Structure 1
């Protein structure tokens, strides 16, 4: 029987690449996504489509982080545009959601224990390192230790390994890997601030997430469609 792994699947390029890597390494994938009342909840549609293309089981959990707010993704705070944060600022951007990865990893760990999974894949990477404190390697290592202490699987010596295969990659590295793995990149969604166009939602092409993604593909110097560079518009449900 193939080993099983939980993959945190937001619907974006990084998490989709992580899911396809998990499959390449022989894991049966249990994808987990979160409806946290995010501004860009259209990413859940992307996650559902991606999970289906990978043949993964898919669980969506409701976690109302809008009740906490304090983030441009879960409140009326404006999403920053123009790539200000991409220019090397040391401040944590307003798109940071308070301890989101701690919450999500905890729930992913619970699913891994319930489904007897031996690994958890998360797509945190070096690009997020300086801006988001819950994307740092030392946070991941500390969480793994704490979760093992707090869980039945950890006490029994079978704690799932937390794998971060993208941690040292740039966005262009991740784009290259996604192309190698034949990830359906046009189905992924990265934009923080979806724009309405008739009955469709389309990427804004101006937020940090859109610009970082576009920069990653631009570095490859390939002829790629706009749907690959920014993601395809999605019909409003």
Structure 2
């Protein structure tokens, strides 16, 4: 056994090793990177959730319009007339239509549109609209289908000599750019942004109306020029109106069942 020389220091066990780093925590750059990554993840999640939420509301809006459509169909079946409503029935009028005069059973001709449409809101808490088709009048020009309780020509099995929507005057342009003729009515929700997208039917409701006859000189145009982008949080970009329409051939098939 070797004896240490008095006064000679013992060898350092850690000699030759790098000094240990203390627990100094994260640097400012590291913290910044982590914060940026967390922000990106949260942002992506928010956009994804916004798209999911809007998708659910779109489906709900379509369901609401279909329920109104079915309500109108039931009343048309029992009344054998096109839907009627209170207010000015002049084609192209933007008067304050739809005074919500409700009441009466399905087998009475009591303001069908009022009974089916009043109080119905889309998922964004806004009213829905009805655009009514028109027929050629006996004295010239065009009249709304619901005016004067016109009989439904589509109910062929009842032998009714009724009124048919005019082929060209009662037409719309659908979202694919196709022309649809013999339109009885169109139900419209303004969508997430609350704005009716095209002036061809927006002008019908500029005076506060919720129901109006079709403007024969300017058919409703739903041709979607710019699809909506639901991934943009809080902002809907593009044409986003939701609509459901009924044509005379469809009506004939449904009411004949």
What's the TM-score, normalizing by structure 2?
A: 0.27
Of the two, which has the highest radius of gyration?
Answer: 2
Greater helix content: 1
